[in-house]
Structures are given as C-alpha cells and as structure tokens.
Structure 1
C-alpha cells in the first residue's frame, strides 16, 4: 500500500478496509460500523474511538468527545499528525498490513493521540482537564506523558506499555520508541530538565534517557540502556551508562526498527 496524499484519500481507504472486515467477520460488524462506517470523516471516527477508550464512570464519553471534536475543528493539524502516525506504524511494523489495525487496536497509537489532546488543552490553559486525560491515558494504556511534553508527527510507540515522558521532553517528527522507555529527569530540579529526541531516532525497549540532553538526529539507543549525556547525530549507543558502539546502518533508524546494535559495530569510521 502506498502512502496516501490527503485526509480524504486516507479516509476512503480506511472505510474500504472497514467494510471488508465487516463483510468477512460478522462478529465485528457492529463494532466496525460504530467505530468507522457510521462516521462522515476520519476525525469523527477518531474522536469516537478515543473518547470511548478514556471515559470512565464519572466522565462520560460524550462529554470527552465534544472536547476532541472542537480541537480537531480548530486545529486540523492534530488530525494530520494522527494520519502520519498511522502511516508510520504501517510502514515500520512488519505485523501490520492495513491502516485500520493501529487505529482500532494499538494502544501505542491511541495513547499518542490522547496525549495530543491533553497537550492542546494544556496550551489552552485548561490544565486540570489536560491532567485528567493524562491520568486516563496512564490508566487505560499504560503510557504516562505529561501534557506539556511536545510530540511531533510520524511517531510510533511500539507496544508502548510503561512509556514515561516528562514535562519538558521533546519528541520530534519520525521517531520510534519501544515499550518501557523513560524520558525523565534526574531529580526534583525545575525548569528544562527532560530529553530532546531528534528526528529519525530509534529508542530500544527499556531504555532510560535522563536529564536535559539531546539524542541527535538519526541516532539509535540500544535496549536497556541508561543515557546520561548527549548522543551525537547518527550514532549508536548502548549500555549502563550508555557508550558509543558504532553508527546506525541507515539514516533513519526509526524506519528500519533494527534494534540489534551489534550490526552497527565497525561503522564508526563511516560517514
């Protein structure tokens, strides 16, 4: 499947996938209709799915959905980022063969979209509602992201359980994080105190990146590493504490998802 050129093309493709599933799996037909086929555009479907995921006995889905719908209307770039995230999952995850799967079933994708809404509310000064969504995001998906944290588009949280992102962290466009990654601080200091993850980076499962430091563009952090200092662009680090072991075999490790840092040994002298 090739990348689509706009929101309408994406939505038509998504509806076609949904109709095939509804036709072929009767037990899912009503679910597919409720989530996809009854909606007139992608943002309506997305707000329905997410609001029902994060609602609880006190805060109904309808009230939450109104907030989502208003944000999508006022800032359509949030919807564009969600589409870019789905396309990123489709391109990077060998287990995904359609666009519908991450939208309906992948908590990593859903957690990022809930965070986008919390971040929107935080910027609007609605801090308590933003913190409510952060709490529900953590309880529902096992992903704890401060609403002030900035996240680009084309971002993939693979499996996602246990991901923690601090208040002043930045995740740029086209980044892949695996489960149990922490972008945290090093104490109770205030101010700018969390990592900045630049474009094209892959952060392996269980990695802990701590402090106001930078993971340079196109770099790779090995699984289980503890990173306490800046990582230069296009560099592979691994270990506790993390040390340079080579250079990634491709310009954007986020796309290849190749976590075996041994592949990068001997690449230090290559440009």
Structure 2
C-alpha cells in the first residue's frame, strides 16, 4: 500500500501526506508530466498530450483516443463525441479523477497519478466505459456499443455500456473483467482481473449483480444473477457466488461459503485478501 499523498509536497507524489483534492488532481498530473518529460525525452509526445491540454477532461479524451482510436472512425469524430459527453455530464470528469486517486491509494505499483492515467489499461477501460455509458443513456446506443467493442479489443475487458459504475472504482490488471448490462457497482469498489459479473438467464429485467460500496472482489471470481454483494464484504479469488452475500462478510470457494467478517473495515481500500481461517467452523454454504 502506498503512503498517503501530499499534493503540495512533490510532483512525483512519493513523499507522503494526503491525497490531492479532486480539483487539485489536474495540477498534480501536469506537474508529474512535466517532470517525466524532462527525464524521458523519447516519450515527449505522450507527456505533451497532458501538458498541451486545457483541462483534465481534454487530456483524458486525447489519451483515450490514442489508445482506442481506429481507422474505422476519424479521430475528430471520436473527439467531438467525447467532448460532448464530458461537457454535458461533469460527473464523467469527476469520476475519472476519483478513479485515478483510487489507483494510487490502493496499488503499490503506482506512485504517481501519471502512471495509471497513461499506462494502466484498467483505468483506461473504466474511463472508456464512462463515456460509453453516457452514450447508452443519451440516445446513442450504437456509438456506445462501438466503444464497448473497441475497449474489449484493446483492453481485454467486456463491460456492457448499460452497467452502472460508481466513483473510486479500481480495476487492477483488468484482463478478463466482464460486467453485464444490469450490473450496478457502487462507489469505492476494487476488482481484480478475470472477474465475471454475469447473468443466469435470458430475461430482459435485472439479471446481474449489485455490488455495494467498499467491496473487494478477488481474481477469477464469478458472481452470477440478480444478487447483492453487501457493503464492505470480500469475495475470495476463484469463488463462485450465486446467492447474496451479507455486508461485512467473506465469500470463498466453489460453491461459495459465507464467513462472518471481511478481515478489515474497508476491504476495497486495504486490498487485504487474506482469509480469517479461524472462522471456517462457522461458515455456511451458498448454493
């Protein structure tokens, strides 16, 4: 876990303190890009996409275009669509800032905002989804599906544009993450690679999981159906869950068993995947 970050201490964000407020993320990100540009001239054009942008949203749009752009759609068309979404819905940029901070808070492999912003495909996949979701909700379903398709090709994730994902979402490694159309993920959730949030039938009503705030879902977990994963609970890696999990509990195994207690007050924040083995005597099966 990284030390807390001080927005005033250093552009590198490695010196400790508190995380920057949302309105300071852009300032810190630009400072990091400037420092990185001075140290790695060969990547100057990459860092200039941040330094030459007028806002966080503009830099995010240019970064996404560089990653998911394709000759099937002109860059200026994609830029115009993204810009319209960001201007119409300020929560897209706000969520992008919160997601960026979440990575640095929870991932020891990231010591700067710059790293996930430019290089981490989990962050890019979620930001692409946020634009796709806006398209889905605002009469542009084909454009939304285009973004879903490109994101799936480039980032190896498959997130239906109808899925609702709250702020402060951390998708670690990202490869193989699948989320269906009626998935709802509340704020401040952490998910590792290979996770499926899927349905169990072909009905067109709610058929996918709802994941409450503070949940940690380990790698390879499969969670199916219109069920609820309670707040601040934990799903162990490789588990198969088809029934709701109470708040502040752990689900582990195939089929999943429920263990009272999640091992920490906020699993999504701590990223602690240890199991409290002493509680196994009291588990119940979920079938």
User: Quick check: 1:201 aligned with 2:189?
Assistant: no
User: Quick check: 1:16 aligned with 2:48?
Assistant: no
In structure 2, the partner of 1:28 is 43
Q: 1:163 to 1:58 in 2, by over 3 A?
A: same
User: Quick check: 1:41 aligned with 2:58?
Assistant: no
Residue 260 of structure 1 deviates from its aligned partner by 2.0
1:154 to 144, 164, 168: 168
Residue 259 of structure 1 deviates from its aligned partner by 1.3
1:6 to 16, 22, 26: 22
SS at 2:191 equivalent = strand
Aligned residues: 267
2:150 to 132, 136, 147: 136
2:180 to 154, 163, 166: 166
Cα distance in 1 for residues equivalent to 2:123 and 2:22: 19
Q: Which runs of 5+ in 1 are unaligned?
A: none
Q: TM-score, normalised by structure 2?
A: 0.90
Determine if contact 1:118/1:133 at 8 Å carries over to the other structure: yes
User: Quick check: 1:97 aligned with 2:107?
Assistant: no
1:109 to 96, 100, 123: 123
Determine if contact 1:146/1:166 at 8 Å carries over to the other structure: yes
Cα distance in 2 for residues equivalent to 1:199 and 1:179: 19
After TM superposition, list the pairs within 5 Å mapping 1:70-81 onto structure 2.
Answer: 70-81=84-95
Q: Which runs of 5+ in 2 are unaligned?
A: 6-17
Residue 262 of structure 1 deviates from its aligned partner by 4.0
Determine if contact 1:249/1:263 at 8 Å carries over to the other structure: no
SS at 2:251 equivalent = strand
Determine if contact 2:135/2:141 at 8 Å carries over to the other structure: yes
In structure 2, the partner of 1:124 is 138
Determine if contact 2:263/2:274 at 8 Å carries over to the other structure: no
Residue 266 of structure 1 deviates from its aligned partner by 6.8
User: Quick check: 1:229 aligned with 2:231?
Assistant: no
1:243 to 251, 257, 270: 257
Residue 10 of structure 1 deviates from its aligned partner by 1.3
Determine if contact 1:185/1:212 at 8 Å carries over to the other structure: yes
- When the two chains are superposed, the root-mean-square deviation of aligned CA atoms in Å is 1.6
Determine if contact 1:207/1:225 at 8 Å carries over to the other structure: yes
- Alpha-carbon displacement from aligned partner over 1:38-93 (angstroms, at most 9, x marks no partner): 11111110000112211111112221111111111111111000000000000000
Q: TM-score, normalised by structure 1?
A: 0.95
Q: 1:239 to 1:109 in 2, by over 3 A?
A: same
Residue 121 of structure 1 deviates from its aligned partner by 0.5
Residue 29 of structure 1 deviates from its aligned partner by 1.7
